[in-house]
Chains A and B, each alone.
Chain A
Amino acid sequence: MRKIFPPNELARDERFVRTKIEDRVFDPRNAAMMERDLGSAKLEPSRPAAADRARSLMHGIFVGEIQALEGAGRTCFDFDEDDAPFALKLDMARQCWDESRHVEISVKLGEWMGSEIGEFTESTFLYEAACADDPVLRLCGVNRALEGLAIDVFNAMKEFGDVAGDPVLEFCEDWMLADEVTHVKMGSDWLRRLTEKDPERRNRALEFQRTVDKIFSLGGFRGESDENPVHLARKFRRMAGFDEAEMDDLVEISKQAQADAEAMAAAAAEGGGAYGA
């Protein structure tokens, strides 16, 4: 069986439609959208299209869980015990079990919210971060960056359920959030252990994490201002091994990502409209 399985060969049925992050970044509507005063972008039940936005985010969580399962599974298999100690593989196996449950919970939550598998697109960037050839990079890119984002997203959905009075959503997100804190902590612990005597490798891994964090800030998706739909869940990140400096850095990365996206949208707009006149 081959190692480092390519993202384009992941098993999906006809319900799934792939999209690329660039499709969103270069959407010709972005520049005009940025000129609108849409107020707070935070996910709240009283905001416009709240149900659709929540369903879309729920579907994003669902496909993210599938890819997290696939990524953790590959890490169990792709490395020998010199690169990835047995105890690390055991942690990844436990994570597979968690992610499997999360997939099932997410499918049921989607149905509860009136959605279905494949209603929205899937981007495979999470899995792509799990294709790095160094297990420490995978732990930083997936467990610390993307599972860290999952902490922020689950916390946002949990708060949405709380404000909406939706007990099913609130409790399910809370349970999954607890697992995510564990997954991020696994990443933090193994990063420290595997790079204890190799600061250069640690720096390379943390730089990879910064890159993944920036891409997954999606032009302002996550941050700490009213313009960010998902806010940094500092309390839970602290529990998962993040220090304050790292979290402040993450807020800066998110601001940079937003500024970059605005600059790209402005540059695209200079070329005129995309269709018609």
Chain B
Amino acid sequence: MPAITVAPDPFTLVPYDASTIAQLTAEAAALVGFPDDVAVTLEVDEVLPHPLTGTFVAVGPEGLDIWMSGANFEDPKRPLKFQPELALSELVRALLRAADRLRPEFSGAPTDEDLTDRQRAAWDVWTEGRAHRLGVPATRPDRLLYHYRLHHGFNDVADEVFRRLWDADALTWPEIDEACAETDAADTRERPKKTALRKEQLRAPRPSA
């Protein structure tokens, strides 16, 4: 089992428990087969409520850093309530993507902060498909499909690529990037003028604060 550190400890704004989250992280690591010799540091941003979800992973010499919105663990029906099943599935997704980053086939992948929305959505589909096959609860293709279509387009080409990504057992970063190029070529929509917020922006204080 990898060394796992969860912050904050204790939580002050939401009734989450750091040791419970560490246990779930260990369970997720075992499910994914995440290497024991890579230390995991998980920072949960307890300020962000549902539905402001978000996950970013970064692998460096010190180990794996995961940043996750507290909303990722929150029961959508009960504000502030920690939902263990949801938390486990979110942690599995984060660790699957982190494990990909440890492989040489992903050495060319941009950092999570630098992925385009299209690239991130495609990678998320492959991740979710694998989590589904691992028997992880709360994985639903119909749910992810809408998120994916927002970034890849509402057309047959995008849907076919979705099925391929979902079913894939092994992929490389260039293959994910090629899938994105395929949907990009079929996407006739106007490109958004703004890009999505990233972790650092989600955490940034207001200028007047």
Contact = CB atoms under 8 A, between A and B. Distances in A.
Interface string A151-175: 0000000000001111100000000
| Chain A interface SS verdict (over half) | loop
B142 interface: yes
Interface string A30-65: 001111111110001111111111111000000000
A6 interface: no
A23 interface: yes
A277 B204 contact: no
Given A37-B207, A38-B202, A121-B77, A29 B13 contact: yes
B47 A120 contact: no
Interface residues of A, number: 49
B63 interface: no
Given A27-B80, A275-B12, A45 B47 contact: no
A225 to B, nearest CB: 14
B201 A39 contact: yes
A27 B49 contact: yes
Interface stretch (B95-103, B143-151, B177-185): B143-151
B13 A114 contact: no
A276 B145 CA distance: 38
Interface in B2-26: 10-15
A33 B142 CA distance: 31
A29 B78 contact: no
Nearest to B149: A166
Nearest to A52: B51
B49 A273 contact: no
A273 B80 CA distance: 13
A274 B206 contact: no
Interface string A257-277: 000000000000000111111
Contacts of B144: 114
Interface in B160-207: 187-190, 192, 194-197, 201-207
B137 to A, nearest CB: 15
Contacts of B153: 165
A111 B145 CA distance: 11
A275 B10 CA distance: 9
A115 B143 contact: yes
A38 B199 CA distance: 10
Interface string A234-277: 00000000000000000000000000000000000000111111
A112 B192 CA distance: 23
B154 A114 contact: no
Contacts of A17: 77-78
A94 interface: no
A112 B187 CA distance: 20
Nearest to A23: B79
B132 interface: no
B196 A112 contact: no
B77 A118 contact: yes
Nearest to B153: A165
Contact of B50 (A37, A52, A112, A273): A52
A121 B74 CA distance: 13
A105 interface: no
B52 interface: yes
B142 A114 contact: yes
A53 B51 contact: yes
Interface string B47-60: 11111111000000
A120 B77 contact: yes
B146 A27 contact: no
Contacts of B80: 27-28
Given A17-B78, A37-B205, A114-B140, A51 B150 contact: yes
Contact of A52 (B53, B195, B197): B53
5 contacts: A32-B13, A33-B47, A38-B197, A121-B79, A275-B11
Given A38-B202, A56-B50, A56-B76, 6 more contacts: A33-B49, A36-B47, A37-B207, A44-B192, A164-B149, A164-B189
7 interchain residue pairs of minimum CB distance: A273-B12, A276-B10, A52-B51, A114-B143, A46-B192, A51-B147, A35-B209
